[in-house]
Structure 1
């Protein structure tokens, strides 16, 4: 049975569902490979303009598969299979939305942190509890959390392994929005559909600037923004967007 289910619930939007409910969607290597394959495929599909990743009502993903981790060697951790999903997500040019219900722990939190937008249910709980089993986050948790909330707030949870309730995560700046649990996927799909209707080259440019800018000096980041802004003036979508606005009609963006 597939460990990641792919659906197209709305035009232009792909929905990926982690499908290991018996272990709270623990991120086994086979699941990560399937997820990477789907992300790579969707990234090249011009019909897809936004991606939503979700789990089920109990868990987005409850971290790495501890059965695998118990057997893992240093060499195993260095293989391409171990990092495939993270590489694919970092390379993805389409906006990715995490729709989080239940637990998002360890690698589950790190999976959400790789996304561009995080929609959490009121009952969702995030956390990086690796320290409790003698290891540490290994898929960007220490670095992405520090960049999102600062050293002192991040250390409070990294060093204790405590869980972070959805409302606290929102207050810290980890989560984009908190909604009722039964509205997580519908709301994420609504946002994805809104993005899918926008000019894809402009969306891609914004994602790139937001992703690269914080790690550069302000002058370099502003130069990246300025150059990308100027390049968008060469696109057909720019002409269509302005024409549609002036003609008071709905634009049709083609990604050109």
Structure 2
């Protein structure tokens, strides 16, 4: 357990809870360091990651007190951006269970997830330009991949906050759940993923994130590996045997 990130490890997943209630889970350097440590663990032993926040808040943003003191060299180091890239590139899927505020860096951490679930109290947005900076930890490139160019630039330029229903309508989250049902819903998604072949899941994530010009070659190479997998043979044989039993 880290002071900024509370971890619950299971054999096929890790639940990581942002836990700075006194700061509404604002993302500080300690949180970033904890995320890097967690990513190193999940890169070595791939498991599904569920990200959530304590106290009815996902993350109110980056820690403004720290941001105010950062200068040009800090910006070029990409302190938050590089951590979120690492989260996004984890081998197994990342699920963000977002309750309450997910603003600034908190929103950008959620954008780095593969799947986002929310609650009716969800408030998500990037108010960075109002603070004299830009959203440089992922929103400027990930948000348009999620909601499209026109909606993304409007949100980034205005800095307005998106509520739950709009977030669902524009695809920022895939479903809404009451707060006490949010984590079970995230686990249900993880359960569904965990029933599939991990190698096929990881290959799907790699192919999905490959640049457009890499297709279809990258798909075919990944498929070639899977076609030789004993797990593919086992699963397909089991499927055919079950179908035969149903017919009988």
TM-score (norm 1): 0.88
Contact preservation (8 Å) 2:61, 2:107: yes
Contact 1:76 1:82 in 2 (8 A): no
What corresponds to 2:3 in structure 1? Answer: 2
Give structure 1 stretches of 5+ with no counterpart.
250-256
Once the two structures are superposed, the pairs formed by residues 197-212 of structure 1 within 5 Å of their partners are 197-212=195-210
1:40–1:88: 8 Å Cα contact kept in structure 2? no
Contiguous gaps of at least 5 residues in structure 2: 244-248
Whole-angstrom distance in 2 between the partners of 1:77 and 1:207:
29
Q: Matched residue of 2:51: which SS?
A: strand
Instruction: State the Cα distance separating 1:65 from its structure 2 match.
Output: 0.3
Q: Deviations over 1:103-132 (max 9, x none)?
A: 010111110111110011121111011011
**Residue aligning to 2:30:** 30
The change in CA–CA distance for 1:154 and 1:87 in structure 2 (over 3 A counts) is closer
| Correspondence for 1:194 | 192
For residue 253 of structure 1, what is the aligned residue in structure 2?
Answer: none
Q: Which residue of 1 aligns with 2:135?
A: 137
| CA-CA distance at 1:82 after TM superposition | 4.4
Determine the structure 2 residue equivalent to 1:69: 67
Does structure 1 residue 222 correspond to structure 2 residue 222?
A: no
Distance change >3 Å, CA 70–CA 6, structure 1 → 2: same
Q: Matched residues in 2 for 1:103 and 1:221: separation?
A: 37
Give the 5 Å matches for 1:62-141: 62-79=60-77, 81-141=79-139
Q: Does 1:155 align with 2:153?
A: yes
With over 3 angstroms needed to count, the CA separation of the structure-2 counterparts of 1:36 and 1:84, relative to structure 1, is farther
Q: Does 1:234 align with 2:224?
A: no
Alignment partners' CA distance in 2, 1:189 and 1:244: 26
SS at match of 1:123: coil
> In the superposition, relative to structure 1, how do residues 38 and 68 fare at CA in structure 2: closer, same or farther (>3 Å)?
same
Relative to the length of structure 2, the TM-score reads 0.91
| CA displacement 1:230-249 (0-9 Å, x = unmatched) | 22111121011112223339
Tell me how far apart the structure 1 counterparts of residues 158 and 81 of structure 2 sit (CA, whole Å).
25
Q: CA RMSD in A?
A: 1.8
Deviation larger for 53-62 or 23-32: 53-62
